Amino acid sequence: MGIEDYPRNLAILAQERYIGKYLDADSKGILFERAKSLKGFLQKRRKRRPVEWQFSIPIKHPLKFIKNYVDDCRLSIDISCEMEGIGDDIKKYNVLLRIWCWDENAIYREGIDAVELKSKLEGLGWKRVILRFHFDLRDAKTESAEPLYHLHIGGIPEDDENCWYPKQIKVPRFPFPPMDIILLCEFVLVNFFQKESEELRKKPEWESLVRKSQDFFQKDYFEKCINHINSQSSTLLENFMRAECEV
Amino acid sequence: MVVKILYIDDDQRELTKYEIKFRDDPRTADRFKLIAKNTPKNKGDYEALIQVSPGLIFVDFELIKPDSNGDVIGISGVTLSAELRQKFPDVPIVLFTRKSVFKMNDYLDIKQTLSSLDDIIYKNEVFKPNSSLIDSLYELAEGFKKLRNIKAKNWENLLKVIGAPESEYDNLILADPPFYSGQDSKWSVSKAAKWIRDTLLYYPGILYDSVHAATLLGVSEDVFLKEDIQEFFKRAKYSGIFSPPEGLWWKSKLIEIANAKMKKSETSLVVREGFPIYWQRTEKKQVERSKCIYSGESPADWVCYILKKPVMIKYSLSYKPDSRPSVMDEARVSFEAIRISNDVNDDLFDPLGREMLPEIRKMQKKRRR
């Protein structure tokens, strides 16, 4: 698969019998619209020169999944992203997955959380982001040491941790394979709609769609991992931290 | 109750032939009275047709022969059916023709397209020894009659006449009844009949035929059709109007009946896995499972649209042969049908499926060791 096939795959993904029925009503059109916009970039291809493209789902209008009960908590997921590339080379890649909790008792701890927070949450209709996952490609201009492709997350604090992660701390960053919208949708189905999506995930056409994204976004990454491990040189993480490391 | 059939044809020999056949065949003699008429050419002819007051209308497809006065109608039976629908809005109209002049397979989704026709039947198939067409025609006329006799033509009464279980009320609305706009919706006989026959009873999803029902329960079709299982699921059988001779079963009722008897360890499984264990336990004998037509694996979890045989979802592709409502089961075609059947139309797969066809056609039939 090349980038020129990606708009079609996104449009297929958006269909009701794929991911459409798991999407929030006001999110159903986003993938079609964004796929169309990406196709617009790709149609500007000049002779023999790979075309520059952009694909974004802004955080203000993310791809929102319907709410679902997981472990007795009402959760919803949304995904936003910023991607840029030249031909099949990805130059910018930032994908954000947020988990929202809509369960009053789970998101506000009486006696622990501030009263101000209570009224704030009340005003928002009792919803709160409980986890955010950033799947990023290292910014070419960054001065901080970070793996080429990485994941930045929160964690599960123990009760006595009173966990609060200050905004200014930008570590840790885990080396992680690139995840595009299609691969993340599979991730969301497997984790948050496990039973409901069982039938879809068995379908060969769904597997084919996911495999196309694996090929395009992850294959080189994993090949590089294997090659580096086989080379017996520096550690994998150190290798991915090197500024000159590329996939 | 005798059903009066009005049979319109341009061929006097055919009119006489079927008048005699319907009169003399023991399967039709007590149930039908066929009144043969040449094609109507003028207002008087139409008035004569109305006087017949039929319960069922047959129209021939090719109406090109002149009558005894040398008059020719010059239109096809399909066109005439539209005119007849105006005159007889509440009576079923059947295209009664020959395969040589009207090939149903040449038209995709033909029943949905020809809105003024309720069915298409080939003349030479009606009186075949094991044909169930006579029963179907009687059921068609009786169904229309029951709908005509309902005084308040509202949603509630339509649910009653199809004998819908409460558990299916929401799904029935999702099955796109074209006249539904709320509980107070009013329906016409022909529209309600068309929806019931061509959507509700036609597509698997809310009602299942024997192969779909057997696959849902994880057993072979032969096992499902055995007397003991038929007795067990008696309450799930569709007994509403237009009931086909082969039988249909309410999906939700099948699940409900099975779950009501099964142990917790069996209900915790999907029905196709839990029910055969239950049946084996109570009947103390091995039960033949529903086997995938491609791999031989059990239990299969879908039915191949082309071969009408159980298949695993993972060995099938999505197919778009019609515009069925989304509440109905998706049409899927087994890898086996893709490999061997000439009835598979590649254009009806989605783009991802189409890409996979060459690879599937190269595959050997998979067999479980």
- Answer yes or no: is A34 within a domain: no
Total domain count, chain A:
1
CATH of domain B3-140: 3.40.50.2300
Structure-token pair, residue B284:
């103390």
* A205 vs B: CB within 8 A: yes
Chain B residues in contact with A12 (beta carbon < 8 A): 350-352
* B337 vs A: CB within 8 A: no
- Check A12 against B352: CB less than 8 A apart: yes
| Mean pLDDT of the region A10-14 | 93
pTM of the model: 0.83
Which member of A8, A199, A205 has the closest CB to residue B317?
A: A205
Q: B80 vs chain A: nearest CA distance in angstroms?
A: 40
Chain A residues in contact with B316 (beta carbon < 8 A): 203-204
Chain A residues in contact with B351 (beta carbon < 8 A): 8, 12
pLDDT value for B293 = 96
Cβ proximity of A12 and B352 under 8 Å: yes
Phi-psi domain of B335 (left: phi exceeds 0; alpha: psi -120 through 50; beta: other): alpha
- Check A208 against B350: CB less than 8 A apart: no
Chain B residues in contact with A199 (beta carbon < 8 A): 301, 313
Q: Looking at per-residue confidence, does A70 or B254 come out higher?
A: B254
Chain B residues in contact with A205 (beta carbon < 8 A): 317-318, 350, 352-353, 356
Q: B313 vs chain A: nearest CA distance in angstroms?
A: 6
ipTM (interface pTM) = 0.76
**Closest C-alpha to B102, from B41, B138, B59, B131:** B59
- Check B356 against A199: CB less than 8 A apart: no
- Answer yes or no: is A207 within a domain: yes
| B164 Cβ contact list (under 8 Å, min separation 6) | B172, B240, B250
**Closest C-alpha to A13, from A38, A42, A41:** A38
- Answer yes or no: is A132 within a domain: yes
Which member of A8, A12, A202 has the closest CB to residue B313?
A: A202
* B297 vs A: CB within 8 A: no
- Check B352 against A199: CB less than 8 A apart: no
- Answer yes or no: is A111 within a domain: yes
- Check A204 against B314: CB less than 8 A apart: yes
* B58 vs A: CB within 8 A: no
pLDDT in tens, B109-152: 556 556 788 988 999 899 998 888 999 999 999 999 999 999 99
- Answer yes or no: is A212 within a domain: yes
pLDDT in tens, B38-77: 888 888 888 888 999 999 999 988 766 666 666 666 677 7
* A89 vs B: CB within 8 A: no
Q: State the Cα–Cα distance between residues B173 and B164, nearest whole angstrom.
A: 12
- Answer yes or no: is A138 within a domain: yes
- Answer yes or no: is A19 within a domain: no
pLDDT in tens, A161-207: 767 777 778 788 898 999 999 999 999 999 999 999 999 999 999 99
* A208 vs B: CB within 8 A: yes
The boundaries of every CATH 3.40.50.2300 domain in chain B are 3-140
Range of the domain at A157: 54-241
Which member of B314, B351, B356 has the closest CB to residue A12?
A: B351
The beta strands (E) that lie in chain A are given as 52-57, 63-64, 68-70, 73-86, 89-101, 128-137, 149-152, 174-175
Strands A149-152 and A174-175: antiparallel
Q: Which of A16, A205, A208 is the best residue to mutate to test the B interface, defined by the most B CB atoms within 10 Å of its own CB? A: A205
- Check B318 against A205: CB less than 8 A apart: yes
pLDDT in tens, chain B (369 residues): 899 999 999 888 889 999 999 999 999 999 999 999 988 888 888 888 899 999 999 998 876 666 666 666 667 777 888 888 999 999 999 999 887 766 666 655 556 556 788 988 999 899 998 888 999 999 999 999 999 999 999 999 999 999 999 999 999 999 999 888 887 889 999 999 999 999 999 999 999 999 999 999 999 999 999 999 999 999 999 999 999 999 999 999 999 999 999 999 999 999 999 999 999 999 998 999 999 999 999 999 999 999 999 999 999 999 999 999 999 999 999 999 999 999 999 999 999 999 999 999 988 766 554
- Residue in chain B nearest A211 by alpha carbon: B352
* A8 vs B: CB within 8 A: yes
- Whether A47 has a pLDDT exceeding 80, the answer reads no
- Residue in chain B nearest A18 by alpha carbon: B318
**Closest C-alpha to B198, from B84, B349, B92:** B92
| B324 Cβ contact list (under 8 Å, min separation 6) | B199, B203, B205, B331
Where is A38: in which H helix or E strand? helix A30-42
* B60 vs A: CB within 8 A: no
Q: Which of B304, B317, B352, B355 is the best residue to mutate to test the A interface, defined by the most A CB atoms within 10 Å of its own CB? A: B352
